[in-house]
Structure 1
Amino acid sequence: MSDSNEHELPFKTPKQLIVAIVASFVVPVFIIILLANYVSTGNKPAAGSNAMTDEAIAERLKPVGSVEFLDANAPKVLKTGQEVYTGACAACHGAGAAGAPKFGDKGQWGPRLSQGFDTLWKHAVEGIRAMPAKGGNPDLDDVEVGRAVAYMANEAGANFKAPEPAAPAAAPAADGAAAPAVPAAK
C-alpha cells in the first residue's frame, strides 16, 4: 500500500486548532453585531439629509391627481404655441417621426417655410400626408394651431407673427349707439 497523506488535517498544531475554533465563534458574533447596528440605525436620516423635512413629507403625501370642474360657459383660455407644441406636436416633430420636420431643423423646415405661414397653418389645421388634422387633437382651436405653427417655424428660422383670436362681437352701447367693429387678426 502507498504511504499517502490523504486524511491529514489542515491544523498541524493544537494552537492552530484553538485559533480556528475561537475565530469560528468570534467572527459570526462580530458580523451579527454589525448587522444589528446597521439595521437599527438605518431609519435615521444621514447627516445633511432633508428626507424628513416638512416639505419632503408633504411632497410624498400629496395626492396623485385632482379633479377640476370647469365652467362650460366661461370663455376658453387659448394655449400658447409652446404649450400646443408640447402637448400635441412634440411626439412627431421632436423625433421626426413619419416624415415630420424635426423641431428647430432649418434644413428640413426651409422648403416648408417658403410656402408661407398661411399655407403651413392650413396644412396644420386640415392635416397633410401622415399628419392628422390639428396634430390629432380636435379640441384645439385654429388660433392655437396657428400659434404652434408660428412657434415651430420661428425656431427653425422664420419670423412669423403668432395669430391672435378674433375679437368677440361687441355688445351695443347703453346709449343705443353701436360699438365700433374690431377687425379680426389672422
Structure 2
Amino acid sequence: MSEAPHGAPIKTPGQLIAAIIASFAVPIVIIVLLVIYVDNSTRTGAGTDSLSDAEVSARIKPFAQVDIRDANAPRVYKTGEEVYKAVCSACHASGAAGAPKFTNTADWAPRIAQGFDTLLHTALTGKGAMPARGGTSPDDYSDFEIARAVAYMANNSGASFPEPAQPAAGAAAAASGATAAAPAGASDAGAAQAAAAMAAMASVPQAAAPAAGGAQSADASQAGKALYQQVCQACHAAGVLNAPKFGDKDAWAPRLKEPMDTVYNYALHGKGAMPPKGGSTASDADVKAAVDYMVSAAK
C-alpha cells in the first residue's frame, strides 16, 4: 500500500510572491513595534530630565536674590534654637576649635559658673577662635537673639538661666544706631524713654575726651559724677534699655556679683544696647570713675 504524496505549501506563483512579501513585512512590523515600546517606556538614565521645566528653571535662575522687607513691620525675633542651628552649631555641635560642645556639661560647667552676663559678653565680643557674634552682624541677629542662643546652649548643658527679656518696641532699632523718634500719638512709655535716651546719647558732646597729654582729673569721684550726669544718666537715671537704674540695689546686685574688672569692661566696650563708653570719648579712667560712682550709690 503506497503512501500519499507530500504536496508543497506553495503551489502557485501568487503564493510564492505572498510568502516573499510576508518574510520582509513581518520582521519590519515587529521591529517598529519594539521601537515604539522602548521609546514610550519610563526612562531613568542620567540626563534624561535635563530639559524638564524644573531643570531649565534651576539653570537660568539668577544668582542674586532681592529680599524686600518692610522696615516698619514689627520684628520677629528668632528663638535660641534657631540661632544655634543657623550660626553656633558649626562649632559647638562638634566642639571644633575648642568650643564647648553642645550638651556636654563638663565643657560648659566652668563657663556657666562665670554667669550669664559674662557668657553673653563673650558671645558678643568674641573669644579665642570664635569671632564676635559668631561671625554675624547686628543686622543679621540682634543682641537679644544672641542672648537667646547663649541661654539655649547653656540650659541644654546644665544651666538654668531664665529666658532673656525681649526688648521693648523700638529699642532694637535705637540700639543699632537708628535715629530714635517717638511716633506721633505713641502711648508706649518704654519706647518713648528709649528714644529719649538714644537721642541724649547721640547728642553727647565729644569734648569730654581729655586733650592730648592732659593730666587725669585729680578728683576721680568728681570726674565720675560729672561723666555720669553728662552721659550715663541718659539711660541709668530711668533704667531704660535694660540699664540698671541708678541707686537700685536689686538691679545692680547681679552685676556686682561679677569682678569689677568685668563691670569696667562692659562700660568701656559696650554691652547690649549700651555703646562703648556710653557713646562718649571720655578717657578710660573717667569711665571707670563713673562706674565707681554708680556702684557706690547701689551699695
Q: CA 1:161 to 1:184, structure 2 compared with 1: closer, same or farther past 3 Å?
A: farther
**Same amino acid, percent of matched pairs:** 45
Partner of 2:159: 158
- CA 1:86–1:111 in 2, change beyond 3 Å: closer, same or farther? same
Q: What pairs up with 1:19-168 in 2 under 5 angstroms? A: 40-43=40-43, 67-139=66-138, 140-168=141-169
Q: TM-score, normalised by structure 1?
A: 0.59
Give, in angstroms, the shift of residue 129 of structure 1.
Answer: 1.3
Structure 2 vs 1, CA of residues 34 and 113 (structure 1 numbering), >3 Å: closer, same or farther?
farther
* 1:13-33 CA distance string (max 9 Å, x none): xxxxxxxxxxxxxxxxxxxx9
- Per-residue CA deviations over 1:74-94 (Å, capped at 9, x if unaligned) read 343221111111111111111
**Contact 1:163/1:185, CA 8 A, preserved across alignment:** no
- 1:157 Cα deviation after fit: 1.6
Q: Which runs of 5+ in 2 are unaligned?
A: 1-32, 45-51, 172-181, 194-238, 244-299
- Equivalent AA in structure 2 for residue 83 of structure 1: E
Q: Which has the larger radius of gyration?
A: 2
| 1:8-55: CA deviation from partner (whole Å, max 9, x where unpaired) | xxxxxxxxxxxxxxxxxxxxxxxxx999856643259xxxxxxxxxxx
- State the match for 1:16 in structure 2: none
Q: Secondary structure at the match of 1:42?
A: coil
Query: C-alpha displacement at 1:62, in angstroms?
Result: 8.5
Q: 3-state SS of the aligned residue for 2:73? A: coil
**Structure holding more helix per residue:** 2
What is the CA–CA distance in structure 1 between the aligned matches of 2:53 and 2:89, rounded to whole Å? Answer: 32
After superposition, give the CA deviation of every residue in 1:51-80 in whole Å (9 maximum; x if it has no partner): xxxxxx999899779643102333432211
Deviation at 1:165, TM superposition (A): 2.6
What CA RMSD, in Å, does the superposition of the two structures yield over aligned residues?
Answer: 4.0
Using the TM superposition, give the Cα deviation of residue 97 of structure 1 relative to its aligned residue in structure 2, in angstroms: 1.2
Q: TM-score, normalised by structure 2?
A: 0.39
| Change in 2 beyond 3 A, CA 1:185/1:107 | same
SS in 2 for 1:110: helix
- After the TM superposition, which of the residue ranges 124-133 and 73-82 deviates more from structure 2? 73-82
Q: Which runs of 5+ in 1 are unaligned?
A: 1-32, 45-56
Shift of 1:131: 0.9
1:12 is aligned to none
2:234 maps to which residue?
none
SS in 2 for 1:98: helix
Higher relative contact order structure (alpha carbons within 8 Å, sequence separation ≥ 6): 1
* Aligned residue type for 1:113: I
CA contact (8 A) 1:167 1:183 kept: no
The 1:62–1:154 alpha-carbon spacing in structure 2 relative to 1, beyond 3 Å, is farther
